Amino acid sequence: MSITYLEAIREAQAYLLRNDPSVYIYGQDVGAFGGAFKATKNLAKEFPGRVIDAPISEDAMVGSAVGAAIEGMRPIIEMQFADFSTVGFNQVVNQAATLFWRTEVPCPLTLRLPSGGTSGGGPFHSQCLESIYARFPGLIVCTPATVEDAYSMLIESVMLNDPVIFCEHKYLYFHLKADSLPQEALPIGKARIAREGRDMTIVTYSAMLHECLEAAAEMAQDGAEIEVVDLRTVKPIDTDTIIASVARTGRLLCVAEEWPWGGVNAEVISRVVAEGFNLLDAPPQRINAKDTPIPYHPDLWSVHRPTAQSIVATARQLLRN
Amino acid sequence: MNHQIDRKRFERAYRYMLTARILDERLAQLYRGGNVYGGVFLGKGQEALSVSVGISLDKGDVFAPLIRDGAGRLAFGETILDALRNCLGSPLGPMRARDGNVHRGKPREGYIPMISHLGANISVVNGALMAKRMKGETKQIGAACIGDGATSTGAFHEALNQAAIEKLPLLLVIANNQYAYSTPTSAQFACKELSLKAQGYGVSTHDVDGTDLKACMTTLEKAAALARAGEGPQLIVAELLRLCGHGEHDDAQYISPKIKASKVGRDCMDEAKKTLLKEYQYPEKDLDQWTTETTDEINQAIRQVQQEGGPDPFTHNWKALATRELCEPLGSSTL
Ligand SMILES: Cc1ncc(C[n+]2csc(CCOP(=O)(O)OP(=O)(O)O)c2C)c(N)n1
Ligand SMILES: [Mg+2]
């Protein structure tokens, strides 16, 4: 048996609906149609009244989830694309993120954001918004890079008593496969060493993990041992795992698909410099998407985001420093 | 309209209005004396409408009041003490000094605390009602209050449409007080009447004179009964005038004298008082006594809250997540 990243997300939701009557799913076309990507395929039939089609009203979708969370429910809100969550932004950052702080009443809701670029996606169906949300206190932001994490972290997200922004990567939906669903998993908030090495640490997450692993494999042919840290969760960031890795390698490269200004890469570098400056043998480096809207044409898109090739080039440079 | 409001119920409503009005006046004094952090926003002129919303809700219902709903909040069960604690920054208040003034509520009791962003709380009530329906609680209704200005927000339209699609038992109560801060309704909407906005979404509407307590009570009771009976969302539009500044920092010179002198400019308290005296035959001394009693109660509460003091920033629990172990360790000083 093999299961894709997307199927894992569907299975996680089926598991949650089956095991917790307070879970429901609300989003555009999620009902009988099964969602734009089929992440809720057959769930409406299996769980009548609990997989609900929403109007194209992202603000009201999130607002209503806050109200339901107050009533003890655990809503899963599917945004059709992460890009459209900006229309519901106010409810996320001002309503959901502030509720517990203001009232001590928890706000357990999960916002699923089909994120990131795919060939031909263009400016409005490709965005990575994790850092925008991570900026706000009161939110947890997950960025699973593997089939196993997509499954286990979604289940854990929904069971947490806080609002979780679940950034699932569309590029991984169909490409990424695993043999089976995991029996156990690292908790949210813990990073994972995806590949061990002692010459350099690459910190990354989500779809970029796979570009980084490819880059590390290529560099291994020249004898370079690259350690790759998969953050898994970008809010909170598992600083301890990162610092421990940099302590072993002395070099840091951060790779993220999101735009460069003030994002996860900047945050990781800032922490390593502040807390582990003397562990560094060279200035830390970062690679992000270019600071332009995301291009439509595949030839433009393929150089807009970081790739194994651009990672290898920067990593080689960093090793020489 | 045939007004048949029980005498005791009318008295109860009036006394919440009276409490709200005196509370507002005392808060304005405290503000002028420099004893309030931040702003003070009053509900003067809107008590009749507000109390009618609060009084038509039962325990277990959901209520999302707004800026000028002091009377409705009291009717829904808020205590004078909690209102004052929130306005004066007591850590014993419902928001524990983390939020202030009109931003207060008790979500566990169906009392939704407003955020500043206007229009945003309507869909929260929708969600609570959807949840109740999923839990099999079908007797409860919800009410959200909003101003004429906030009917221009996207959030208002999304939520109204959402309530209509889901056939939720929502009372959406618009206080058309003729202004949004300084902006007159002519610069806010171009339709002839606000109720037309609801008709576009297939929602039933009720228009009411917001200066007439009896009319407000009758209208809200009827709308609440319809919502409870499964007739879906009900939009109520009340015409009235804000008889104060937007906040106490605002002298509201922009309010036209013509509007003030018109029927919407009447003070709902004066009108309700007339009804009590003439129609329900209350002796004037009863009303005077209520005023004295209420004033004493409020003054006593103010003294108590002022003695409670403020929050302690050093022992404060600076955690924004219920899952404490997932809070970022970073703060303003790392060394
Ligand atoms: C989304 C949003 N924009 C702007 C403001 C600033 N603001 C606070 S109250 C107000 C006027 C509100 O007018 P209305 O809705 O008519 O309510 P009223 O104050 O008259 O009761 C404005 C513009 C806000 N709170 N929320
Ligand atoms: Mg107004």
Which ligand is nearest the CA of B147, by number?
1
Domain end (from A130, A145, A178): A178
What's residue B331's pLDDT?
66
Flag whether residue A204 sits within 8 Å of chain B, measured between CB atoms.
no
Among chain B residues, the shortest Cα distance to A187 is held by B326
CATH of the domain at A38: 3.40.50.970
Distances from the Cα of A271 to the Cαs of A203, A277, B251, in angstroms? 12, 9, 50
pLDDT above 90 coverage of chain B, percent: 96
Which among B85, B152, B326, B333 is the top mutation candidate for probing chain A, defined by the most A β-carbons within 10 Å of its own β-carbon? Answer: B326
| Nearest-angstrom CA–CA distance, A109 and B124 | 13
Mean pLDDT of B77-99: 97
Per CB-CB distance under 8 Å, the chain B contacts of A234 are none
Q: Which residues are placed with Cβ below 5 angstroms of ligand 2, an ion?
A: B 147-149, 177, 180
Task: Tell which atom from ligand 1 comes closest to the C-alpha of B116.
Answer: 25
ipTM above 0.95, yes or no: yes
Residue B335 included in any domain: no
Q: Cis (ω within 30 of 0) for the bond into A55?
A: no
Residues A161 and A220 in one domain: no
Q: Is position A13 within any domain?
A: yes
Q: Are residues A53 and A84 in the same domain?
A: yes
Residues of A with active-site annotation: 125
Say whether both A114 and A251 belong to one domain. Answer: no
| Domain at B47, CATH number | 3.40.50.970
Q: If contacts are CB pairs under 8 Å, which of residues 155-194 in chain A contact chain B?
A: 160-162, 188-189
For chain A, the farthest-separated pair of C-alpha atoms sits apart, in whole angstroms, at 60
SS3 A61: helix
Sorted by sequence, the CB contacts under 8 Å of residue B163 that are 6+ apart come out as: B122, B126, B129, B170, B172, B203, B232, B233
> Which domain does A42 fall in, by range?
3-178
Structure tokens at A268: 């990781």
Domain total of chain A: 2
Q: Do the domain assignments include residue A184?
A: no
Q: Select the residue of B99, B130, B334 nearest A102 (Cβ to Cβ).
A: B99
Residues 115-134 of B with CB under 8 A from A: 115-117, 120-132, 134
Instruction: Determine the pLDDT at residue B4.
Output: 81
**Encoded amino acid at A74, one letter:** R
Please tell me the distance between residue B296's alpha carbon and the centre of ligand 1 in angstroms: 33
Q: Are residues A151 and A214 in the same domain?
A: no
Q: Determine contact: B245 vs chain A, CB below 8 A.
A: no
Determine, yes or no, domain membership for B333. Answer: no
CB contact under 8 A, A50 and B326: no
Other beta carbons within 10 Å of B170: 31
CA of A320 to the centre of ligand 2 (A): 66
Report CB contact under 8 Å: A160, B323: yes
Question: Is residue B113 domain-resident?
Answer: yes
B181 Cα nearest atom in ligand 1: 11
Atom of ligand 1 nearest to the CA of B146: 15
Q: 3-class SS at A145?
A: coil
Helix B7-32 vs helix B284-308: crossing angle, to nearest 10: 40
For residue B1, pLDDT over 60 is answered with: no
- Does residue A185 belong to any structural domain of this protein? no
What tokens does A149 get?
């994490």
Question: What's the mean pLDDT in A261-267?
Answer: 97
Is residue B95 in a domain?
Answer: yes
Helices (H), B64-112: 70-76, 80-88
Query: What is the enclosing helix (H) or strand (E) of A247?
Result: helix A239-249
Cα of B226 from ligand 2 centre, angstroms: 26
- DSSP codes, A181-203: --SS-PPTT--EEEE--SSEEEE
Same domain, residue pair A223 and A266: yes
- Answer whether residue A187 is part of any domain: no
Residue A37 sits in the same domain as residue A172: yes
User: Would B120 be classed as within a structural domain?
Assistant: yes
pLDDT for B151-173, tens place per residue? 999 999 999 999 999 999 999 99
Give the pairing type, strands A140-142 and A233-235.
antiparallel
What domain count does chain B have? 1
Nearest to A165 by CA among A128, A204, A134: A134
CA distances from A96 to A66, A229, B121, B124 (A): 6, 30, 11, 10
CATH number of the CATH domain containing A210: 3.40.50.920
Determine the average pLDDT of the residues in A269-273: 97
* Residue B318 included in any domain: yes
Beta strands at B62-64 and B234-239: parallel, antiparallel or unpaired: unpaired
Ligand 1 interacting residues, C-beta cut-off 6 A: B 67-68, 116-118, 147-150, 153, 175, 177, 179-181, 242, 246
For residues A142 and A165, is the Cβ–Cβ distance under 8 A? yes
Q: Domain limits at B90?
A: 7-326
Distance CA A283, CA A97 (A): 35
**Backbone conformation region of residue A156, classed left if phi is above 0, alpha if psi is from -120 to 50, else beta:** alpha
pLDDT bucket at A1, cuts 50 / 70 / 90: confident
Tens digit of each residue's pLDDT (9 = 90 or more) over A216-254: 999 999 999 999 999 999 999 999 999 999 999 999 999
Q: Are residues A53 and A139 in the same domain?
A: yes
Please give the residue of chain A at the shortest CA–CA distance from B64: A67
Is 50 exceeded by the pLDDT of residue A76? yes
As given in the structure block, the two tokens for residue B309 are 């003091």
Half-sphere exposure of A267 (CA within 13 A, CB side): 21
**In 3D, which of B258, B282, B261, B259 has the Cα closest to residue B272?**
B282
Together in a domain, A119 and A166: yes
Tokens of A187: 């908790």
Q: Name the β-bridge partners of A235.
A: A141
Domain boundary among A132, A155, A178: A178
Cross-strand bridge partners of residue A228? A195, A202
**Closest residue by Cα to residue B172 from B195, B200, B149, B153:** B195
Please, what is the average pLDDT of chain B?
96
Model pLDDT, residue B190: 97
**pLDDT band for position B2 (cuts 50, 70, 90):** very low
pLDDT score for B3? 55
**Pairing of the two strands A140-142 and A164-169:** parallel
Strand blocks (E) in chain B: 62-64, 142-147, 170-176, 179-180, 183-184, 204-209, 234-239
Tell me whether residue A201 is in a domain. Answer: yes
Interchain proximity B124–A95, CB inside 8 Å: yes
Instruction: Say how many Å lie between the CA of residue A37 and the centre of ligand 1.
Output: 39
Distance CA(B78)–CA(B198), nearest Å, equals: 30
| In-domain check, residue A142 | yes
Give a yes or no: residue A284 inside a domain.
Answer: yes
In a domain, residue B291? The reply is yes
| CB-CB contact of A319 with A199 (8 Å) | yes
What is the DSSP secondary-structure string of B241-294? ---S-SSTT---TTS-HHHHHSGGGS-HHHHHHHIIIIIS---HHHHHHHHHHH
Contact partners, residue A252, CB within 8 Å, separation at least 6 = A200, A201, A203, A242, A246, A268, A269, A272, A280, A284, A285
Q: Mean pLDDT of all residues in chain A?
A: 98
| Nearest chain B alpha carbon to A96 | B124
Residue A197 shares a structural domain with residue A280 = yes
Indicate which residue's Cα is closest to atom 13 of ligand 1. B180
Q: How far apart are CA A32 and CA A53, in angstroms?
A: 8
In chain B, the percentage of residues whose pLDDT exceeds 70 is 97
**Is the confidence at residue A49, as pLDDT, over 50?**
yes
Co-location of A22 and A148 in the same domain = yes
Instruction: Clarify whether residues A270 and A316 are in a common domain.
Output: yes
Would you mind telling me the total number of residues written for chain B in this entry? 335
* Pair A90, B117: CB distance under 8 Å: yes
Please indicate, yes or no, if residue A116 is contained in any of the structural domains. yes
- Residue A25: pLDDT band (50, 70, 90) is very high
* From A57, A60, A68, residue closest to B128, measured CB to CB: A68
**Are residues A41 and A151 located together in one domain of the fold?**
yes
Taking CA–CA distances from A66, the nearest residue in chain B reads B124
Place of tokens 């690292």: A186
**pTM for the full predicted model:** 0.97
> What does the pLDDT read at residue B334?
46
Q: How far is CA A203 from CA A50, A223, B124, B243, in A?
A: 38, 20, 38, 60
Q: What is the pLDDT of residue B329?
A: 83
Over residues B65-83, the mean pLDDT reads 98
Report the alpha-carbon distance of residue A315 to residue A306 in Å, rounded: 12
| Span B40-58, pLDDT tens digits | 999 999 999 999 999 999 9
Residues from chain A that touch B125, judged by Cβ atoms under 8 A, are: 67
Q: What is the mean pLDDT of residues A271-296?
A: 98
Q: pLDDT over 90 for what percent of chain A?
A: 99
Ligand in closest contact with the CA of A59: 1
Answer yes or no: is B186 within a domain: yes
Q: What is the rounded average pLDDT of the residues A178-201?
A: 97
The pick from B66, B69, B118 for probing ligand 1's pocket by mutation, whose C-beta has the most ligand atoms within 8 angstroms, reads B118
Q: How far apart are the first and last CA of chain B?
A: 70
Question: For B249-300, what is each residue's pLDDT tens digit?
Answer: 999 999 999 999 999 999 999 999 999 999 999 999 999 999 999 999 999 9
